[in-house]
Structure 1
Amino acid sequence: MEQPTPADEPRSMPATAAETTPESPWPLKHFAQILKAHIERAPETWIEGQLLEANIRNGHAYLTMRDVDVENSLSVTVWRSTLSRLDATPEVGSRVVAKVKPNLWLKTGRLSMNASDLRPVGLGDLLARLERLRQALGAEGLFDPDRKQKLPLLPARIGLITGRDSDAEKDVVRNATLRWPGVVFEVRNTAVQGVNAVGEVMTALAELDSHPEVDVIVIARGGGALEDLLPFSAEELVRAVSEAATPVVSAIGHEADRPILDDVADLRASTPTDAAKRIVPDVAEERQGIDQARLRLDRAVEQLLERESERIAALRTRPVLAAPESMLESRREDLDRLVERSLSAARTAVVRGEAEIKHLRAQVRSLSPQQTLDRGYAIVQVGGADRSAPAGDVVRDAAEVPVGADLLVRLAHGSLDASVTATHESNTGPHSEENSQNQPVSPEGHHD
């Protein structure tokens, strides 16, 4: 058997935490010292929060700081030497930034932050931070007018996110009901300030945005201090509103320092009452508008009837309608004139044609051989018994016909048989050419 180890005999200690076992554990003191050394190696850090507690004892300040957005808190100790250098004494509810270094108190195992500097966050600092966030979100396009959704003319159901039993809820519901008695609300009561406000408002926004009957969502609060309105400038809430499929109306009611929610919302109302007036129409105004529209419509119809009646009366007094046959009579007279002109033109054309035909006939007849014969001339042709020239040829030169030749003399009426007893030479003198031009025309020409 193994001999028991004396109680006062030192035992070997595991070198690392991984080597510890139930049989070979670290002493609490050793673990606390290692943990203290590890924690205190962390560098000094500036943190921001809101003071929930501020106890000052023996010149030291024992504070509890809480995050402004979530339920996380830490104990902060401000020693006398540091507290004496501060410009103001820490107060509960104030928002501060502190330069802290973690410290583990071995006696109680309590983790606390030792503050070497503590400064209140002024309104100027808050506004500067909000303005930087506003510019960053604006650069992303979250505030562009093209992203704004148009509110429905008459929403079937209105989603309302506001504080429980708040004046903002009463103002919205009362004024909207007065304007449109049939309005229906889907109300979600949430925290509207403090660390729970952002999460609860985002949850309510998601519920109402997914509601199939909600046509518009109103986020309302009845104003307040700048610190109280900070949840409505939280980046998470602003992005959630920008991504909502349902139009969102911001009705925070703070004119001096607008939260960023006003910029991203589809419509900004100056107060909850203003939101109620802008999300539903006024039934009295709508009825008045309908009455005015009816009056304008009646007036327009009456004016149209009067105008058309005057036009009909004017048309009935026109001659063409008062005596329709006058239009036919005038056309009949025009037709008679045109017929007379046509007949006159035709008769004139016929007479002119007849005169021209007579003239042409006279010209033709003047050139006819018969006309020459009628003036006493004769046509002498070679008779059939003469063999010196073909029978029927016209005799133009006496030298061409021998003595004794048979001739046929054609007169204006009838013909003669003749025989050549002698020939004579042609006459000479100034009229010989003229005589030659007046010789009879060949019988081969035209006849009457």
Structure 2
Amino acid sequence: MTAANSAQEPWPVRTVNVKIADWIHRLGQIWVEGQITQLSRRPGTRTAFITLRDPAADMSLTVTCPPEVIDRSPVPLTDGTRVIMCGRPSFYTGRGTISLRVTEIRAIGIGELLARIERLRQLLHAEGLFDPRLKRPLPFLPRGIGLISGRASAASHDVVSIVQSRWAAALIVVRDAPVQGPSAVPRILGELKMLDDDPDVDVIIIARGGGSVEDLLPFSDEQLLRAVAACTTPVISAIGHEPDNPLLDHVADVRAATPTDAAKRVVPDVAAELAGIATMRRRSAGALRNWVQRERHVVDGLRARPVLADPLRLIDSHAGAVERHRADLRRDVARLVERETHRHEHLAARLATLGPAQTLARGYAIVQNLDDGARVAHDTADLPDGARVRIRVADGAVTAQVTGQEETS
């Protein structure tokens, strides 16, 4: 039994290493997949050392094996080879290091790689990362163009030369990164984040020349694909040639057949644009001249019409009728005035003949009882004795008092 561990009774290093080795040895035999990044095989030694790296993360594992295991491999083992290894984890208590002691190495075939890529494609498609509605449009003239490609590669040279020939003022931010091998994905991810965070970069191109399926594996890596889908800057995939079709082509906002095609898509051709502007100016000028000519013909046609050629003709043709109607109106009005004047004189004569003044002139008088409110008396009963009366004759009126009544025979 091991003594209890405490500050007063610490374990020695040998005890700690033995306990760690015991726990690691319990793991047993395991199968591991990875990518070879370093292989050290010295002549005359009984152990070969391999560094196996995870292609999707910055993690590695030390592998040891007898040299004959490497010799039995179905394919030559070199840096970048994807393999599956069967071994047992071992902890070396003397150095305090852990390694995987393998007894079998299998290379991953093209069929298996394609099957894995297909499964990943179906997964990402089900998640909607290939949805065309998520694709961001490219700017017509970007302020800055980010380019991720291999150092001094043909793809980088093609993109830069084509962009500068089409639009010399374009700003290109070139980021060099490995485009194959175990270090490609982490480096590309880092450069992609830097370009996506740069406010002066409006579009990002990931470019690489053609290659085998194994060479293009980094561009079907799930971690890289999800990073591209999460970018806020439009991304153009320009991987390989037309037949090459890594999964990055489906996730990127635009797929270019070649790096040269990507350069043509990202900036317009200044010569073609100037020629287009000149053509449109000529067409616009021609259209304007044709429109002016057409409108001039319309105006000339309107001016040639009688109503515009002699605007007063219609008025002049009716001037005689108007004068005749005016003369008729004046004659009718004069006739009406004359008729009404005669009628007025006739009525005035009748009124003078039948009026009270003419009656008074013939010797009649009008008697009014002043005590009865100046009421006109019609008989003697209206004029009692002593009543004050007013007698109106033709040339005036007198006031009298009734002193008696006489009966007429």
Give the alignment's TM-score, normalised by structure 2. Answer: 0.69
SS of structure 1 residue aligned to 2:160: helix
Could you tell me whether the CA contact under 8 Å between 1:54 and 1:61 is conserved in 2? no
Q: After superposition, give the CA deviation of every residue in 1:212-240 in whole Å (9 maximum; x if it has no partner).
A: 22111111122222222222222222111
Distance in 1 separating the partners of 2:31 and 2:12: 34
Q: CA deviation at 1:165?
A: 1.7
Among candidates 315, 321, 332, match of residue 308 of structure 2: 321
- Please name the residue that 2:62 is paired with: 74
- Please name the residue that 2:109 is paired with: 122
Q: CA deviation at 1:54?
A: 6.6
Shift in alpha-carbon separation, 1:328–1:99, aligned structure 2, 3 A: same
Distance in 1 separating the partners of 2:8 and 2:291: 104
**How big is the alpha-carbon RMSD for the aligned residues of Structure 1 and Structure 2?**
3.4
AA aligned opposite 2:24: I
Shift in alpha-carbon separation, 1:204–1:145, aligned structure 2, 3 A: same
SS of structure 2 residue aligned to 1:47: strand
- Please name the residue that 2:236 is paired with: 249
- Please name the residue that 1:44 is paired with: 29
- Please name the residue that 2:136 is paired with: 149
Distance in 2 separating the partners of 1:33 and 1:308: 103
Q: CA deviation at 1:281?
A: 0.3
Distance in 2 separating the partners of 1:245 and 1:110: 43
AA aligned opposite 1:175: I
Shift in alpha-carbon separation, 1:151–1:17, aligned structure 2, 3 A: farther
Could you tell me whether the CA contact under 8 Å between 1:249 and 1:269 is conserved in 2? yes
Distance in 1 separating the partners of 2:109 and 2:127: 28
Distance in 2 separating the partners of 1:149 and 1:304: 41
Which range moves more in the overlay, 114-123 or 60-69?
60-69
- Please name the residue that 1:308 is paired with: 295
- Please name the residue that 1:295 is paired with: 282
Q: How many residues align?
A: 325
- Percent identical residues: 41
Shift in alpha-carbon separation, 1:307–1:189, aligned structure 2, 3 A: same
AA aligned opposite 1:135: Q
Shift in alpha-carbon separation, 1:236–1:31, aligned structure 2, 3 A: closer
Shift in alpha-carbon separation, 1:323–1:228, aligned structure 2, 3 A: same
Shift in alpha-carbon separation, 1:275–1:238, aligned structure 2, 3 A: same
Q: Is residue 15 from structure 1 mapped to residue 2 from structure 2 by the alignment?
A: yes
Could you tell me whether the CA contact under 8 Å between 1:98 and 1:119 is conserved in 2? yes
Structure 1 residues 198-237: aligned runs within 5 Å: 198-237=185-224
Shift in alpha-carbon separation, 1:39–1:79, aligned structure 2, 3 A: farther
In the alignment, structure 1 segments of 5+ residues that lack a partner are 1-13, 347-448
Distance in 2 separating the partners of 1:32 and 1:219: 47
Q: CA deviation at 1:124?
A: 1.2
Q: CA deviation at 1:56?
A: 9.0
Could you tell me whether the CA contact under 8 Å between 2:163 and 2:267 is conserved in 1? yes
Distance in 2 separating the partners of 1:204 and 1:193: 15
Could you tell me whether the CA contact under 8 Å between 1:66 and 1:74 is conserved in 2? yes
Which range moves more in the overlay, 234-243 or 176-185?
234-243
Among candidates 131, 143, 165, match of residue 152 of structure 2: 165
SS of structure 1 residue aligned to 2:271: helix
Give the alignment's TM-score, normalised by structure 1. Answer: 0.64
Structure with the greater alpha carbon radius of gyration: 1
Distance in 1 separating the partners of 2:70 and 2:273: 65
Q: Specify which structure has the bigger relative contact order, considering alpha-carbon pairs within 8 angstroms and separated by 6 or more residues.
A: 2
Shift in alpha-carbon separation, 1:56–1:164, aligned structure 2, 3 A: closer
- Please name the residue that 2:363 is paired with: none
Q: After superposition, give the CA deviation of every residue in 1:175-223 in whole Å (9 maximum; x if it has no partner).
A: 0010111111122222222222222222222222222221111111222
